[in-house]
């Protein structure tokens, strides 16, 4: 008598639409092991777009250069451009509620997560794209940084890197005192380049936004070192 055939393995039932929605909601609300990093989630993208739109409106008008800078820093998939534009247009009608969006982003990450500083730097790049940082924009950035747990000194260092009107001497970008020697400046420059080089972001598998910000930081650091070195060159050389 032939042996009965082995039962076919039982396959897991496909997850329903609402189960998938529940999974995404759990990740959004801070599940310990979300399926994807928070910075790649839909909720994060929406919150950043809304926050950027409200910052663009802070000085009373939305400049095209600010919108262009936002699109350079924060990647929006081509298939989602229309939806992103709608979110941006709705959010930029006024600045009310920006703190709620900032708190929403802050809750997605552990305190001190570098993504939070990357978001602030992206917002600074956007705010200074029109050639100046208005006081209303600075006030909003101060509040967003506070919500993210970023110190005033760190925010100021970020602004110095990108604000064309800051009038900051290169020593402020390099983080050295005005009387620092050329060798001290050189050591600090090399350390900052190692810490901020885009290759580190690429090797860590960070998103395109983080790589672009690393490139911007590296350019600012190299420019500061060039100016610092010229200031220490012998007269007449």
* pTM score over 0.75: no
In a domain? residue 113: yes
Query: Which position has the token pair 């997560």?
Result: 113
Question: Which domain, by its residues, includes 225?
Answer: 171-237
Contact 148, 119 (CB under 8 A): yes
Residue indicated by tokens 């010229």 = 230
In this prediction, residue 132 carries a pLDDT of: 78
Q: 150 with 48, same domain? A: yes
End-to-end CA distance of the chain: 102
In a domain, 46, yes or no: yes
Residue owning tokens 């979300």: 34
Would you tell me the crossing angle of helices 17-28 and 42-56 to the nearest 10 degrees? 50
Residue 15 confidence (pLDDT): 54
Number of domains comprising the chain: 2
pLDDT tens digits, the chain, 237 residues: what are they? 555 655 554 545 555 555 555 665 555 555 454 556 777 777 888 888 888 888 888 877 777 787 788 877 877 777 777 777 777 787 777 778 889 999 999 999 998 998 899 999 989 988 888 777 888 999 999 999 999 999 988 888 888 778 766 655 688 788 887 778 889 999 999 999 999 898 988 888 888 888 888 898 899 899 989 888 877 766 444
Rounded CA gap, 194 and 197, in Å? 6
Considering the domain architecture, whether residues 163 and 235 belong to the same structural domain is answered as no
Tokens coding 178: 């005005």
- pLDDT at position 7 is 57
Strand residue runs (E) in 53-205: none
Of the candidates 168, 194, 218, which is a domain's last residue? 168
* Residue 25 resides in a domain: no
How many other CB atoms are found less than 10 A from the CB of residue 161? 22
**Are 124 and 138 within 8 A, CB to CB?**
no
3-state secondary structure of 206: coil
Provide the pLDDT for residue 190. Answer: 94
Determine contact, residues 174/189, Cβ cutoff 8 Å.
yes
Output helix, strand, coil percentages for the chain, rounded to the nearest 5. 65, 0, 35
In a domain, 10, yes or no: no
Please tell me the distance from the alpha carbon of residue 38 to that of residue 199, in angstroms, as a whole number: 22
Place of tokens 């602030």: 120
Per-residue model confidence (pLDDT) at position 236: 46
Do 56 and 130 have their domain in common?
yes
Do 186 and 228 lie in one domain? The reply is yes
CATH code where residue 212 lies: 1.10.287
């Amino acid at each position: 008598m032939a042996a009965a055939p082995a039962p076919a393995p039982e396959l897991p039932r496909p997850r329903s639409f609402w189960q998938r929605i529940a999974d995404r909601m759990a990740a959004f609300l801070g599940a310990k092991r979300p399926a994807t990093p928070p910075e790649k989630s839909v909720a994060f993208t929406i919150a950043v777009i809304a926050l950027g739109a409200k910052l663009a409106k802070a000085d009373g008008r939305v400049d095209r250069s600010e919108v262009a800078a936002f699109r350079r820093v924060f990647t929006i998939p081509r298939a989602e451009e229309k939806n992103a534009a709608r979110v941006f247009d709705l959010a930029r009608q006024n600045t009310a509620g920006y703190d709620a969006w900032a708190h929403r982003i802050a809750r997605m990450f552990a305190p001190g997560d570098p993504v939070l500083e990357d978001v602030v730097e992206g917002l600074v790049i956007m705010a200074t794209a029109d050639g100046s940082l208005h006081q209303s924009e600075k006030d909003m950035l101060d509040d967003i940084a506070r919500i993210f747990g970023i110190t005033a000194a760190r925010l100021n260092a970020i602004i110095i890197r990108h604000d064309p009107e800051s009038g900051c001497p290169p020593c402020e970008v390099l983080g050295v005192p005005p009387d620092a020697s050329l060798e001290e400046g050189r050591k600090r420059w090399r350390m900052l380049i190692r810490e901020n080089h885009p290759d580190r972001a690429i090797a860590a598998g960070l998103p395109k936004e983080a790589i672009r910000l690393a490139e911007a930081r590296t350019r600012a650091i190299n420019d500061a070192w060039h100016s610092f070195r010229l200031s220490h060159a012998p007269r007449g050389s």
